[in-house]
Amino acid sequence: MGHEIRPFRIDIPQPDLDELHDRLSRARLPRQLPGEGWERGVPVAWLAETARYWREGYDWRRAEARLNGFPQFTTEIDGQELHFLHVRSAEPGALPVLLTHGWPNSFVEFAELIGRLTDPRAHGGDPAAACHVVVPSVPGFAFSAPPRGTGWTTARVGRMWAGLMDRLGYDRYGVQGGDLGAYIAPEVAAAAPGHVAGVYVLGGLGFPTEEDVPEMTGEERAAYEWLQGQDWMNGVDHHALLRAAPQTFAYGWQDSPVAALAWMAQKFHEFNASGKPLDEVIDRDLFLTNVSLYWFTGTWASSSWPMYDTPGGLGWPRGQKAVPTGVYSGMPAFRRLAERHNTIVHWPADNPEGHHFVAMDRPDALAADMRAFFAKVR
């Protein structure tokens, strides 16, 4: 195979789709436990209605056609079959930018963002800020092969991403990432500092720990206390769960689409800081496209390697000082702490907040802020 780059199209066999619908129709739902809203987990009424819509209203073939509207490819890097999107802008002088998705997400995370970056003119932006966009599927996610052994690290993936950009002929480019991508994106700069123009992170840099409390200002301490009360800090500890027994839990997610839907809904709910219901923040079809992609590719377990393969756990992202860094959301993190490990050149205080996966929630705001950052470093 060598360095061959092969075109790729998603084409889920009809029997797989029929089986999903059959399993959804035969789901055994539990009784609703006492409690308000989501405090005991995903409410039975919400799950039953969403599962019904997944079976009867959601159109996978329509979603599949939309995803196939993005040029997709596969290639082998570091012994791994890698799936990626490569969407070139028609604007001259476009800056190549590599986007890295989070967990439990996929390249679907950027479905609303890509066009806003490649064709800013069509979205009210400056065409001079256009980007070519590359979106790899992290190993073990979607159509990228799962790691063949233990010991995988975000640094190894960062080296793969640098190799991919080199293979595509890009000498200078930007990188972006949030969630898991916030760990991987800085590693690309560490692997190829002479080629990376800047690292843009959606959030995670400068998050305080107990060790930082004694030196905090009053304002910082208040923000830290607010942070400790958030759902995404106190919900299901997926890091501990997937570090301990990912194989065990994957049986339920692999065998039952309702169990898989509940798990994904639990995490997307906990990652929702908007104060609004999940269905009002992230389009239901987009959410179900991500769930469907996990279901059809059977990647519930293989996508959990960052948790079980990282000694001592992931902790908060630290970043790097090889190239300039920009951050979309600074609160409740502290720039002062982030600057210990990063050269921060972009840290807006007024970007609209919302869901953790901001590219799915506020693609216009994210695209505008990314253009502002890369204009400083390109």
Residues annotated as part of the active site: 179, 308, 356
C-alpha to C-alpha distance for 260 and 224, rounded to whole angstroms: 33
* 49, two tokens: 């209605």
For 217, residues 6+ apart whose C-beta sits below 8 A from its C-beta are: none
Query: Which position has the token pair 């996990």?
Result: 294
Contact between 243 and 307 (Cβ < 8 Å)? yes
Helices (H) and strands (E) in the chain — how many of each?
17, 9
C-alpha to C-alpha distance for 367 and 372, rounded to whole angstroms: 9
DSSP string, 222-265: HHHHHHHTSHHHHS--HHHHHHH-HHHHHHHHHH-HHHHHHHHH
SS3 assignment, position 303: helix
H or E stretch covering 373: helix 363-377
Beta strand 173-177 pairing with 131-136: unpaired
Beta strand 131-136 pairing with 80-87: antiparallel
Contact between 6 and 75 (Cβ < 8 Å)? yes
C-alpha to C-alpha distance for 217 and 215, rounded to whole angstroms: 7
Contact between 202 and 222 (Cβ < 8 Å)? no
CA-based R_g, the chain, Å: 20
Strands of 95-100's sheet, edge to edge? 5-8, 72-77, 80-87, 131-136, 95-100, 173-177, 196-201, 324-327, 343-346
Q: Please state, as a whole number, how many other Cβ atoms lie within 10 Å of the Cβ of residue 302.
A: 17
